[in-house]
Structure formats: structure tokens, C-alpha cells
Structure 1
């Protein structure tokens, strides 16, 4: 990102511009992309494990509905805390709630093109 792009984003993030929530959501997504599935070498966002993302800019609250690749995944008990920690690291986030859901079950169809390309499926 060049200096002009950085300045433009900083101006857009000024209160009252209407884009601060989008920028916080982008930063949260960036944080989610740092968390990798323990069995598949792809981040959880591009893998399609995040089913819902609710960002409240004013309160700094983030709600995440997500799943795992399989209900019997050995990290099912600890992985939500890993995701929470990654999102808590985002500036402006004060509260994170991760809800682990199993319906609908995850399938390869939920992966992004980037994930498919990374796994040699394109």
C-alpha cells in the first residue's frame, strides 16, 4: 500500500464518514486470515469456516459464527479461544464472542477460490 492509499483509508476512517465499520470489519477479516485450520494449511476465513461476522463499531463488539471441518475435530474445545485471541488483537475490538455451529456442515464448496488454488484444486 502506498502513502496515498494509507492517507485515503485514514481519512475514510474519520468519525462520521460512514466507513469505519467497514474498516474494522476488514481488520477483523485480516485477523481471521492469520488463524489456520490445524489439519488443512489454509486460513479459516478462506477455508469457509466463518459463517457469520457481526461487527458493532460503536461498541467494539464482534460476533463470529463458525464451524470446523468435522464435528470430531480434536481442537473443537480450544479453537474458539484461538479465534477470539486473534480478533481481540485488532485495534478497536473490545469484546469477541465465537459461536461454534455444526449446521450446515462444512464442505469444500465453501472454500474461496484462493483456498482452492492454494490446495491445488483449481
Structure 2
């Protein structure tokens, strides 16, 4: 028989054997959307020099126990670095979450109002 034992953001899958001893099978930290977004700050748009979170390119995150899906947009439909940014975002998220991760391209058009508060000030264009 298996069950999940949790204590403050850490869960362990345990199995009770026939003598009722608990054997630890795995130790997993619960991954959150906020934690993922913090990790994704390492993904930099090479043309602009800002990360995908500051730019507001991550539009939606869905984290499930066995998979994750991220909806992302580009600053321009003709972004020359789109394939690189999409793959780096997917790979970074998957390494953090440790579940298969997919990236969907959103249809929303990016504009500077999507940037994090204060990020445009650092950019110096607005």
C-alpha cells in the first residue's frame, strides 16, 4: 500500500510493507508557479537583454503532477530568436519541474504594458 506523506511543501511517497515499516520511495519538493517564474528569469531575450518574465512573455502556466504547459508570446511575430527562446524556456522549466513540459505560442500581441512594473524604466525606451 502506498500513500503520500506531506509536511510544509515537501512530500514523500511511502509504502507500508507487510510488517508495517515505512519505506521511503521518493522525496519530491512541490513546485509552484512562482518558483517556476523565478527560475525562468534566467532565460534572457538576447536581442533585448531582458528575461522572459520581466518582458511579460509568459502568459499562462499549468503545472500538473505528470506534465506542465506554458503559454508564451514573443515581442514581435518575426522574432529571430523565437526558436531559441521557446526551447530554452521549455528546457529550463522541465529541468526545474522534472516533468515533461510543452510550450504553446499564444496569439496575443505583445506590447510594453505587459512588462513587469519598473522593467520598462530599466530598458530606457519608455
TM-score under structure 2 length normalisation: 0.70
Q: Does 1:29 align with 2:29?
A: no
C-alpha distance in 2, partners of 1:32/1:114?
Answer: 18
Aligned positions of 1:15-54 closer than 5 A: 15=11, 23-54=31-62
Which consecutive unaligned segments of at least 5 residues does structure 2 have? 1-6, 12-28
Partner residue of 1:107 out of 107, 111, 118:
111
Higher relative contact order (CA 8 A, sep 6+): 1
Higher strand share: 2
Q: d(CA) in 2 for partners of 1:13 and 1:28?
A: 15
Structure (1 or 2) with the larger CA radius of gyration: 2
* RMSD value, Cα: 2.3
Q: Which runs of 4+ in 1 moved over 3 A?
A: none
Determine if the alignment matches structure 1 residue 13 to structure 2 residue 3. Answer: no
Task: Give the counterpart of 1:97 among 99, 102, 109.
Answer: 102
Question: Contact 2:43–2:85 (CA<8 Å) still a contact in 1?
Answer: no
**Greater share of helix residues, 1 or 2?**
1
Normalised by the size of structure 1, how large is the TM-score?
A: 0.72
